[in-house]
Amino acid sequence: MNADLVLFWVPAAIAVFSTALVITRKNASRALVYLVISLLAVAVVFFVLGAPFAAALEVVVYAGAIVVLFLFVVMMLNLGRSSVLREGGWLRPNMWVLPGILAFVLLIVMFHVFAGTQAKTAGTEVPPSAVGRALFGPYLLAVELAGFLLLAALVGAYHLGRRYLEERRAVVEGTGEGVDAGGDGGR
């Protein structure tokens, strides 16, 4: 197997493996960590295939903005002192071992690519206007569907969070316990 295939298949395998871990994790925080690894692996695949602009967009838009949005939704749904204590138990140092190993392998692949291997990273330069024409030309439907899907996910998360808060307030008011829905314990 030559170096080009290894540089492609290693990040591709990491992307598939970490995506499977995203789907199977019961803890949303851990799933988000694996989602970041998956998105970074896809960015490395794009870069190795000669699409550095797509790789940069993958990191900035998906691993940056979208994961921050997901993290915001997770934080919005996990309100209260008990959730903070539960999160503290979830974020133990051993949680970071496997994502750290996967990220380190991706870093090694990227160093190998930058060291001058003959991977397909010498693509032609494409101006941003051409990317915009492609996204809003033949791929307009796909871009709009992705936007609607993200909007639907955000609206669904809002309604789940609102129902969660209403149920929590009803339980707190019904039992008379001193925990409020704001998460500050009434202080």
- Tell me: the pLDDT tens digits for 91-110? 677 777 888 888 888 888 87
Mean pLDDT of 141-170: 77
Mean pLDDT over the full length of the chain: 75
Question: Confidence band (pLDDT; 50, 70, 90) for 156?
Answer: confident
Query: Could you tell me if 14 and 105 are in contact, meaning their C-beta atoms sit under 8 angstroms apart?
Result: yes
| The pLDDT value given to residue 1 | 58
pLDDT at 9 > cutoff 60: yes
Longest dimension (CA), the chain: 68
| The pLDDT value given to residue 95 | 75
| The pLDDT value given to residue 91 | 65
Length of the chain (residues): 187
| The pLDDT value given to residue 151 | 81
pLDDT at 177 > cutoff 50: yes
Gap between the terminal Cα atoms of the chain? 63
Structure pTM? 0.54
Mean pLDDT of 83-87: 63
DSSP state of 136: T
Least confident of 26-30, 102-106, 131-135: 26-30
| The pLDDT value given to residue 184 | 43
pLDDT at 79 > cutoff 60: no
Helix (H, G, I), strand (E, B) or coil at 36: helix
| The pLDDT value given to residue 14 | 92
| The pLDDT value given to residue 175 | 66
pLDDT at 40 > cutoff 50: yes
Positive or negative CA dihedral for 39, 40, 41, 43? Answer: positive
Q: Of 29, 56, 36, 28, which is closest to residue 123 (Cα–Cα)?
A: 56
